[in-house]
Structure 1
Amino acid sequence: MRRLLPVAFIVFGVISGVQCGFGLNVTVSSFTKSITSSIGNGINLVVKANASIKIAADDDNSGTIRALIAVSNNVTTPLNRLLGSILAAATAENVNSDELFVNIFSLVAETRPALDAASNAASDLQKTTKEYLYQTLSGNLTELSTILTNLTDGLDYLHLQVYQAANEEYPVTSKNITIFINSTVIADITMPLEAIQNYLTHVASVITVIASERTQVIKYLTQMNETISNGLRNIQNSASGFNRTVIDAYHRIMAQQVNTFKNINQTYAAIVSRASSYNGGDISNLTMFLSDLVAANASFLQFVSLSTNYTMEQINPVLQDRIAAATKTLTRVARFIANQSAINISQHANQCAQRFMQKLQQNPVVITRLSRCIQQDSNALQPTVTFVQYQMDLVRSAASSIANQMSKVCQRNTGACARAYFAALPDHSQVIQNKISVIAGVVSNDEHVVTGRIINCLYGTGADIIENALLMTKKFNRCMLVGP
């Protein structure tokens, strides 16, 4: 619905002296002055009321602003033309009076359906504003439509009198014109015009009040939306930060793993490169040992990768679900409280709405509480990284011990001493693989513990936010009864 466009409306003021109108060329005492005074400010008050609406109709989901603009447009546009034409006709001399009245009556005919449209638009306000405001607006619109009948009757009678005066056999002068146009004839016009002015004043007043209250509702909800949006950004930053720490922990663990196996391979590289010089050229146990380490390395990588992905993949859906549930509840409660400030007739409505809209943006119902579930575990994996570093050092030392001891203990690389060390490699391989598997299990277990703790916190905190928000509705209802 478009906002009411500026209208070119005649400025009504007091016209001094005695003038004639409606095509007559004689003066009638205070005739024009009475009509001008009865029209008064015309539609100007309604125009100002419409102009006081500072928010766009599309920003109001209740439809209140759209309905008010529709009421204003349908009232001001036709009545502007009608009242303006009556005022112009009241000062028109030496013109065809029949044409003047035909124009006025056509404008009356156009005004009726427009006022009906205004009443239909006003009916949309019944559930979005206070009952007495709706009834006042609806009643005055109905009266405007009804008073048109009285105005039409008065115009009909005036038309007849003007016609008779214009067609009188004897000349009509300012002295005998009162035979045709007297205080009674004038009153039949001015009384409906005064009534129209009175009803327009009430319509403008109600539009201003309803628009002001709905504007406050939208301000409440806009502020609430901003609070939620800021909270969501806070949560997103916390979630992104946590994911970075998880990925960082993964990379640091992988770096330890890569360095460990690189060091082990370097330790045995000298033996592999001179295989014929060791154990009679039979280094099959060493080849198998290194192959087992490659497999253990791949298994470790896959295991830690899966557990790391599990942490991020499990937390995010729960986080989004709790955000959606909490946001939905907070928004629903905020709309209820804000709308009650414009609908409820309680004398405490404004105070209670203001108080509880503030409470909805404070603990314990702020949505940022969800971010604390993540923030409290932002460094939870640091001990795990430290553990992996220490344990990988032990793996490197243990895995390299065969080569290191053999070089220190055995005098000959092909003798019985060397054969004993090569024979020990299969059992040693199993020990090292078990050690690597234990480290991977600890990493996975730690990440699962952190994941479970965060998820439990998200469910618990989300439920607490929702419960407290719903309790806020009950407290607000009590406030409306007994006051803040």
Structure 2
Amino acid sequence: MARWTSVLLIVGSMLLGGCFCAGDFGLPYSVPGFDANFRSGIGSGIVSIVKANASLLKYEANLDRSGATTVLFDVANNLTSPLNKLLGHVAATFGANSSEALQALVEELQATILPTTAALDQVSSTIGKLQGAVRPQLLDTFSNNVSTITTQIGTLARNWSPFAEALKEASSPDSTYSSTNVSTLITPALVQSIASPVSLIN
């Protein structure tokens, strides 16, 4: 559960399958600091949760007197969908094929933050039910992972707005930015403000 990340590559490929733009974020050029590894890495850890979910389905939860199987199943269910949605939108934004598509995705991504945070709050509460049913070290690992993801989603939410504004400026019809000078607008620090939390969520 330490790295949760992607079925999303399936979602991402579906969302990005129509992209004919050679650049990033709806721009006709690549943005320094982002590359194909950024997109392919988005959500790569969620596959662990999906696999765990599938494994849990093989067992009769009611036969587990500790209740741990039921709790783990609930945790996996609660996390998979909202994280897929949020990180899927990050991936789709990276691969947007026009400024119009980019703007729509930027707004949709903002709308995924609150449901994902709410799901994580629910998961934090649910994990508490594992006390006494699993090893203390494992319980601490679960709790720390959820805490890390919650913190980084908050960081991503705070940093997304200025990043989106920079993208909007770079993609405007009268923009003077190009591949040669866009890094003066979308600076390495701005790139890291997005890439770092996404990486830590994974």
Q: CA RMSD in A?
A: 2.4
Matches within 5 A, 1:42-53: 42-53=45-56
Instruction: Name the counterpart of 1:195.
Output: 200
Amino acid at match of 1:9: L
Instruction: Indicate whether 1:76 and 2:44 are aligned.
Output: no
Instruction: Indicate whether 1:90 and 2:103 are aligned.
Output: no
Amino acid at match of 1:81: K
Q: 1:107 aligns with which of 112, 115, 134?
A: 112
Amino acid at match of 1:177: V
Q: 2:143 aligns with which of 119, 133, 138?
A: 138
What is the distance in 1 between the residues matched to 2:127 and 2:121?
Answer: 10
User: Is the 2:86–2:109 contact (alpha carbons within 8 Å) kept by the matching residues of 1?
Assistant: yes
Instruction: Name the counterpart of 2:163.
Output: 158
Amino acid at match of 1:94: S
Amino acid at match of 2:30: T
Instruction: Name the counterpart of 1:181.
Output: 186
Does 1 or 2 have the higher relative contact order (CA < 8 Å, sep 6+)? Answer: 2
Instruction: Indicate whether 1:56 and 2:55 are aligned.
Output: no
Instruction: Name the counterpart of 1:41.
Output: 44
What is the distance in 1 between the residues matched to 2:88 and 2:94?
Answer: 10
Instruction: Name the counterpart of 2:31.
Output: 28
What is the distance in 1 between the residues matched to 2:48 and 2:104?
Answer: 30
1:121-143 residue CA offsets vs partner (Å, 9 max, x unmatched): 11110121111111111121122
Structure ranking higher in helix proportion: 1
* Closer/same/farther in 2, CA of residues 165 and 132 from structure 1, 3 Å limit: same
Matches within 5 A, 1:249-398: none
The alpha-carbon deviation at position 149 of structure 1 amounts to: 1.0
What is the distance in 1 between the residues matched to 2:164 and 2:41?
Answer: 19
The alpha-carbon deviation at position 25 of structure 1 amounts to: 3.0
The alpha-carbon deviation at position 38 of structure 1 amounts to: 4.1
Where does the alignment leave 5 or more consecutive residues of structure 2 unmatched?
1-5, 14-20
TM-score in terms of structure 1 length: 0.36
Instruction: Name the counterpart of 2:9.
Output: 10
* Closer/same/farther in 2, CA of residues 91 and 58 from structure 1, 3 Å limit: same
Instruction: Name the counterpart of 2:126.
Output: 121
What is the distance in 2 between the residues matched to 1:155 and 1:34?
Answer: 20
User: Is the 1:147–1:192 contact (alpha carbons within 8 Å) kept by the matching residues of 2?
Assistant: yes
The alpha-carbon deviation at position 42 of structure 1 amounts to: 3.8
* Closer/same/farther in 2, CA of residues 191 and 79 from structure 1, 3 Å limit: same
The alpha-carbon deviation at position 113 of structure 1 amounts to: 0.5
User: Is the 2:8–2:44 contact (alpha carbons within 8 Å) kept by the matching residues of 1?
Assistant: no
Amino acid at match of 1:10: L
What is the distance in 2 between the residues matched to 1:123 and 1:61?
Answer: 16
Where does the alignment leave 5 or more consecutive residues of structure 1 unmatched?
1-6, 198-484
The alpha-carbon deviation at position 90 of structure 1 amounts to: 0.3
1:120-168 residue CA offsets vs partner (Å, 9 max, x unmatched): 1111101211111111111211221111111112312211211221237
Amino acid at match of 1:20: G
Larger Rg: 1
What is the distance in 1 between the residues matched to 2:185 and 2:38?
Answer: 17
1:228-265 residue CA offsets vs partner (Å, 9 max, x unmatched): xxxxxxxxxxxxxxxxxxxxxxxxxxxxxxxxxxxxxx
The alpha-carbon deviation at position 22 of structure 1 amounts to: 2.7
Identity of matched residues, %: 29
User: Is the 1:34–1:190 contact (alpha carbons within 8 Å) kept by the matching residues of 2?
Assistant: no
The alpha-carbon deviation at position 9 of structure 1 amounts to: 3.1
Amino acid at match of 1:70: D
TM-score in terms of structure 2 length: 0.82
The alpha-carbon deviation at position 20 of structure 1 amounts to: 2.6
User: Is the 1:78–1:107 contact (alpha carbons within 8 Å) kept by the matching residues of 2?
Assistant: yes
1:31 aligned counterpart, secondary structure:
coil
What is the distance in 2 between the residues matched to 1:185 and 1:38?
Answer: 19
What is the distance in 1 between the residues matched to 2:112 and 2:74?
Answer: 19
User: Is the 2:92–2:105 contact (alpha carbons within 8 Å) kept by the matching residues of 1?
Assistant: no
What is the distance in 2 between the residues matched to 1:135 and 1:42?
Answer: 19
* Closer/same/farther in 2, CA of residues 37 and 183 from structure 1, 3 Å limit: farther
* Closer/same/farther in 2, CA of residues 101 and 170 from structure 1, 3 Å limit: closer
What is the distance in 2 between the residues matched to 1:32 and 1:154?
Answer: 19
Amino acid at match of 2:164: H
Amino acid at match of 1:147: Q
1:52 aligned counterpart, secondary structure:
helix
What is the distance in 2 between the residues matched to 1:79 and 1:43?
Answer: 8
